[in-house]
Amino acid sequence: MTVPVQREGDQIPAMALRGLVKRFDTKLAVSGVSLDVPAGSFYGLLGPNGAGKTTTLSMAVGLLRPDAGHAFLLGYDVWADPSAAKARLGVLPDGVRLFDRLTGPELLAYHGLLRGMDATTVDQRARELLDVLELGAGNRTLVVDYSAGMRKKIGLACALLHAPRLLVLDEPFEAVDPVSAARIRDILQRYVAGGGTVIFSSHVMEVVERLCSHVAILSDGVLRLHGTLGAVRGDRSLEEVFVQVVGGRVSTGSELAWL
Amino acid sequence: MAVTTAEAGPSVWPFVRLKLRMLVNGWRGRPARTALFVAGVVLAGFFAVAGYAIFAIPGVVGDERAASLLLQLGGSMLVFGWLIFPLLFFGVDESLDPSRFALLPLSRRTLIMGLFAAALTGLPALSTLAATAGMVSTVADLGGAAAAFVQFVGIVGGVLICVAVSRAVTSAFATGLRSRRSRDLAVVLFAVVAALLGPLQLALLAGAERADWPAFAAIADVLGWTPLGAPWSLGLDVVAGRLWAVPLKLLIIVVTLVGLLRWWSATLERAMLGAASNGSSRATGNAGSPTGLLLGRRLPRSRFGALVARETRYWWRETRRRASLITFSVAGLFLPVSISLSGGAAGPMAVFVGALAAVALANQFGYEGNAYAANVAAGVPGRVEVHSRAAAHAVFVLPLLLLVALVVGVVSGRPERIAGDLGLLLATYGAGLGLVLPVSVRGAYSLPESTSPFALSSGGGLAKGFLTLGVMLGTLVATVPLQILAWVLGSVWLWIGLPVGAAFGCAAYLIGSQVAGDWLDKRAPEVLVAVTAGR
Ligand SMILES: Nc1ncnc2c1ncn2[C@@H]1O[C@H](COP(=O)(O)OP(=O)(O)O)[C@@H](O)[C@H]1O
Ligand SMILES: [Mg+2]
């Protein structure tokens, strides 16, 4: 499956998941997730903590081998033809360390060269990214000494550097300050406007509601609801839908009366 | 000691229960953890039985002088061990991490007593008590029930001192090493010290050969008046009729204990107040392009260049790796030099040094944990990955091998051997790499995400450590033909040794790296899972 069946137009979804399953020891973390992410969409993957978002995205980008199912990125099968799929992809994994004994500029250069870019392009883009994300192009601090938010930002810069067609971001806004978050939102929106596709996970409704064209709600490893933002939300707020779908409890007023 | 428990009252029980609960939970966990727990129990049991037997011998034999020597020296060594051990295994036993209690409204005294009680509730303290019970048996044999009772009080005090000293030192260490920089420095210093232990030991042994027993006995008696030895000599004083010494030594014990607990309490407070964030960001000079910063001048502007550059940076900047380089340098130089000084053959040492260099890569994927995800996500081909890692390692090791060959040639007064020895070194390094690279793909395991210095791999690492041993053995076997050849050829080897050895090493490396690269292409995600810490 080196060449996808049809490659013209936006027919092919940027990401297509088919029956992904992952079991850890006794826990079924993801049970049969199938999802199409249309090219050019800004897709939000919502779910409470432990829903299986990280596990799903890891399987989708080739970091975690699924027990069953397939994942296609831009038409290429991730697990049958990894190099073709990965070349067009930018990833910001969650809970994964960076090569943090490098400085920020070194780390970016490393990622750029890993992706086979030429040195001058790497230098130019790396400087620009460091500048825009306010990490400082001349900053000689090792990434291990960065704050959590700065680490997210340098990770994001690494994912963006080679101008991929598809961005998979796991919790990109976690621990990021509001100013940087606004800047990241801006960057991502321009990226999508330019024809790229973003899928990111989050458990913060406001961000998703503000940015996304499509959403999917995952809980307990099962995809509960997915579609365009309008279709999923209906005439309610996304938060109401989310709480209802995920099965959160609604306060009855009688509990915690002593509080 | 009696004082401490009485004062703390019932409030230490929650801590003890918590500790017990954690022990039980550890035991109910995954099979690997259960196995580790069982191994701990077996080890503690062995230590207890062996210790008891050793300490009980002088009593059985009825030798008072031997008893005085063994109890005081042995006891002092126990305390010393408790002092050193937590530094070696720093961060492994954070079972009751004081910082977790920081937010609870506990008085400092309650907290200290609770943590102390919890530390006493554990296999190490228990097996130490059981081992030193052998001393009570000895004293009973020598001086009867009354002396034995006094000795019993002594060993209880001794165990309390052991635990207190280890906790206090750990805590002081933890507060002293809050910043990453000082921790890194400590690891490196420690590696140097550890590497020097071998030479030191030889020196000590040489000293022991000349030393006489009266001198040892004198040392033992002096130790008996220090906190290290006082607890263990209480009963002996009764046996020897020095009753006046008992209250004095009891005083030493109590003062030591109180002092240690005070010190612990002080450092604990600093630990719980949290790190003063001295985030002095380094100079932000505008020093060149990002790729220039990463690659320097010489490396190619390519994927391979980037990988090699990152690896060489890591060998230098990552403390565990730097520590292993330092240990290797010291051992690699010291061993062959000492062997050739004593007139031994250089061949076997070449095998050993070359293999030792290679095994540093046995868990090369584990060093930086799941940061390896970046390479997996970028789809780096297995062979490129493997070659780049070996190349970066060789950048450090090859000059060292050359140095070893030079130094050995000069020290042994046979400079004509340098080229042949270097050939053997290259052959074993290559063969070692050829074996260790596939092993590093198949046998990768996670190291603790080390924020604490001296953290060792806790689970599974031990079994995987045997793989390393296997690689050493395999390298020995693989280079036997070459050793024989060098020996048979004699002076001819002096001429052909270097090219033949280098060719042998290259061939072995190429075979091994191809296998490793192919395996990595198929198993990169599995390697990533294996090196991911936790869970
Ligand atoms: N390596 C692992 N081993 C065991 N369980 C895991 C592992 N990774 C994730 N899990 C479990 O799988 C579930 C889903 O986790 P995750 O995908 O990280 O959730 P999310 O990212 O949505 O918060 C959780 O219950 C988590 O505990
Ligand atoms: Mg997650």
Overall average pLDDT of the B319-344 stretch: 76
Q: Does B384 touch chain A (CB under 8 A)?
A: no
Is the model more confident about A247 or about B75? B75
Q: Can you give the pLDDT at residue B311?
A: 95
Domain residue extents for chain A: 11-88+165-178+195-247, 97-163
Cα–Cα distance, A56 to A218 (Å, whole number): 10
Q: Can you give the pLDDT at residue B453?
A: 38
Distances in whole angstroms, Cα of residue A211 to Cα of each of A133, A227, A238: 19, 14, 12
Considering CB atoms only, which of A64, A115, A123 is closest to B291? Answer: A123
Overall average pLDDT of the B180-184 stretch: 67
CB pairs A-B closer than 8 Å: 133
C-beta atoms surrounding B331 within 10 Å: 18
pLDDT band at B210 (very low <50, low <70, confident <90, very high): low
pLDDT band at B231 (very low <50, low <70, confident <90, very high): very high
Question: Residue B27 above 90 pLDDT?
Answer: no
Ligand 1 atom showing the smallest separation from residue B532 Cα = 1
Asked whether the beta carbons of B330 and B192 are under 8 A apart, the reply is yes
Overall average pLDDT of the B292-304 stretch: 88
**Smallest Cα distance from A156 to chain B, Å:** 12
Ligand 1 atom showing the smallest separation from residue A25 Cα = 4
Least confidently predicted of A227-236, B163-172, B332-341: B332-341
Overall average pLDDT of the A199-224 stretch: 92
Overall average pLDDT of the A140-164 stretch: 92
Question: Residue B110 above 90 pLDDT?
Answer: no
Going by alpha carbons, the residue nearest to atom 17 of ligand 1 is A52
Rounded to the nearest angstrom, the distance between the alpha carbon of A203 and the centre of ligand 2 is 9
- Of the segments A74-78, B26-30, B336-340, B418-422, which one has the largest average pLDDT value? A74-78
Q: Beta A214-219 vs A222-228: how paired, if at all?
A: antiparallel
Q: What share of chain B in percent tops pLDDT 90?
A: 32
Closest C-alpha to A123, from A133, A108, A143: A108
- Three-state secondary structure string covering A176-216: CCHHHHHHHHHHHHHHHHCCCEEEEEECCHHHHHHHCCEEE
What is the tens place of the pLDDT at every residue in A2-47? 444 444 445 789 999 999 999 998 899 999 999 999 999 999 999 9
Angle between helices B213-223 and B64-88 (to 10 degrees): 60
DSSP 3-state of A21: strand
Least confidently predicted of A118-132, B81-95, B100-114, B404-418: B81-95
Q: Answer whether B281 sits within 8 Å of A139, measured CB to CB.
A: yes
**Smallest Cα distance from B282 to chain A, Å:** 6
Overall average pLDDT of the B168-172 stretch: 80
pLDDT band at B343 (very low <50, low <70, confident <90, very high): low
Q: Can you give the pLDDT at residue A250?
A: 60
What is the tens place of the pLDDT at every residue in B274-290? 543 343 344 444 457 88
Overall average pLDDT of the A217-228 stretch: 93
- Provide the mean pLDDT of chain B: 81
Cα–Cα distance, B313 to B319 (Å, whole number): 11
What is the tens place of the pLDDT at every residue in B377-411? 999 999 999 999 999 999 999 999 999 888 888 87
Angle at A168 between CA B449 and CA A148, to 5 degrees: 40
Question: Residue B3 above 50 pLDDT?
Answer: no
Question: Residue B253 above 80 pLDDT?
Answer: yes
Q: Can you give the pLDDT at residue A249?
A: 64
Asked whether the beta carbons of A156 and A64 are under 8 A apart, the reply is no
φ/ψ of A203, rounded to 5, equals: -125, 20
Question: Residue B465 above 90 pLDDT?
Answer: no
Mutate which of A23, A24, A94, A217 to test ligand 1's pocket (most atoms within 8 Å of Cβ)?
A24
- Provide the mean pLDDT of chain A: 89
Going by alpha carbons, the residue nearest to atom 12 of ligand 1 is A29
- The CATH class, in words, for A11-88+165-178+195-247 is alpha beta
Q: Can you give the pLDDT at residue B187?
A: 66
Question: Residue B91 above 90 pLDDT?
Answer: no
Considering CB atoms only, which of B180, B291, B377 is closest to A144? Answer: B180
Overall average pLDDT of the B254-262 stretch: 93
Cα–Cα distance, B423 to A247 (Å, whole number): 70
Handedness of CA A119, A122, A125, A129 (dihedral sign): negative
Question: Residue B7 above 70 pLDDT?
Answer: no
Q: What share of chain B in percent tops pLDDT 70?
A: 77
Q: Which amino acid is at A225?
A: L
Q: Answer whether A115 sits within 8 Å of B378, measured CB to CB.
A: yes
Q: Can you give the pLDDT at residue B269?
A: 74
Ligand 1 atom showing the smallest separation from residue A218 Cα = 22
Is the model more confident about B419 or about B11? B419
Domain residue extents for chain B: 2-277, 289-531
Instruction: Tell me if the pTM is above 0.90.
Output: no
Say what the ipTM of the complex is.
0.91
Give the residues surrounding ligand 1 with Cβ less than 6 Å away.
Answer: A 24-25, 27, 29, 47, 49-55; B 535
**Smallest Cα distance from A105 to chain B, Å:** 5
Going by alpha carbons, the residue nearest to atom 8 of ligand 1 is A55
Considering CB atoms only, which of A108, A109, A141 is closest to B282? Answer: A141
Considering CB atoms only, which of A115, A138, A141 is closest to B286? Answer: A138
Mutate which of A54, A59, A61, A63 to test ligand 1's pocket (most atoms within 8 Å of Cβ)?
A54
Q: Answer whether A139 sits within 8 Å of B303, measured CB to CB.
A: no
Q: Can you give the pLDDT at residue B276?
A: 39
DSSP 3-state of A65: coil
CA-nearest residue to B381 within chain A is A83
Asked whether the beta carbons of B86 and B174 are under 8 A apart, the reply is no
Q: Does B279 touch chain A (CB under 8 A)?
A: yes
Question: Residue B452 above 50 pLDDT?
Answer: no
Question: Residue A55 above 70 pLDDT?
Answer: yes
pLDDT band at B86 (very low <50, low <70, confident <90, very high): low
Overall average pLDDT of the B234-260 stretch: 91
Query: Which phi-psi region, left, alpha or beta, contains residue B505 (left: φ > 0; alpha: ψ -120 to 50)?
Result: alpha
Is the model more confident about B476 or about A170? A170
- Chain B residues whose beta carbon lies within 8 Å of the beta carbon of residue A82: 379
DSSP 3-state of B175: helix
- Of the segments A206-210, B95-99, B509-513, which one has the largest average pLDDT value? B509-513
Q: Can you give the pLDDT at residue B394?
A: 95
Helices (H), B281-413: 290-295, 303-317, 319-341, 346-359, 373-378, 382-411
Going by alpha carbons, the residue nearest to atom 26 of ligand 1 is A50
Which H or E run includes B35? helix B31-61
Cα–Cα distance, A46 to A200 (Å, whole number): 9
pLDDT band at B342 (very low <50, low <70, confident <90, very high): low
pLDDT band at B461 (very low <50, low <70, confident <90, very high): very low
What DSSP string runs through B323-340? HHHHHHHHHHHHHHHHHH
